[in-house]
Every structure is written in structure tokens, then in C-alpha cells.
Amino acid sequence: MTSRPFDLLNESVGKEVLVVTKGSLSFRGTLKAFDVHMNVVLENAEELLEGETKKKYSKIIIRGDTVIYIAP
């Protein structure tokens, strides 16, 4: 059971997540790490544009203050 928001991120480490940021960017990849600022590292990540893969990154760090939502 999730009792604090960051518990959801903790439960999601090693799993695939979707990260949507300001400026309408979307990334899908395996959550490797996060911190209290909601900075996240994804592995085997792809940047999505209207549901299609636009670019691929073996690793990527996304800055927390640009995040709108993260969904496992």
C-alpha cells in the first residue's frame, strides 16, 4: 500500500515508467534512481512524440522540477 507519494517511486525502481514533463515531452524507460527533488534516471529510455518513439537513450537524467507526472 502507498502511504506517501514517493513510496510509489520507491516501488517502481527497476520497473518501466512513463515520465511526462513541462513542454509536453514524454519519456518511457526503466526507473533506475530518483531523489527528493524528483530528479529521475531512466535506463533504456525512449522519448515519445504522439505515442511514437522519437529518440532512444541508454540512460537519461530528467530534472525533477520539469516533471508533471510519473506513471509506473
Given the rule CB under 8 A, which residues bind a copy of itself? 1-9, 18, 21-25, 27, 32-35, 38-41, 43, 45, 57-72
Q: How far is the CB of 34 from a copy of itself (least distance, A)?
A: 7
Task: Give CA separation, 12 vs 23, 35, 50, in Å.
Answer: 24, 13, 24
Contact 15, 31 (CB under 8 A): yes
Shortest Å distance, C-beta 69 to a copy of itself: 5
- Shortest reach from residue 5's CB to a copy of itself, in Å: 4
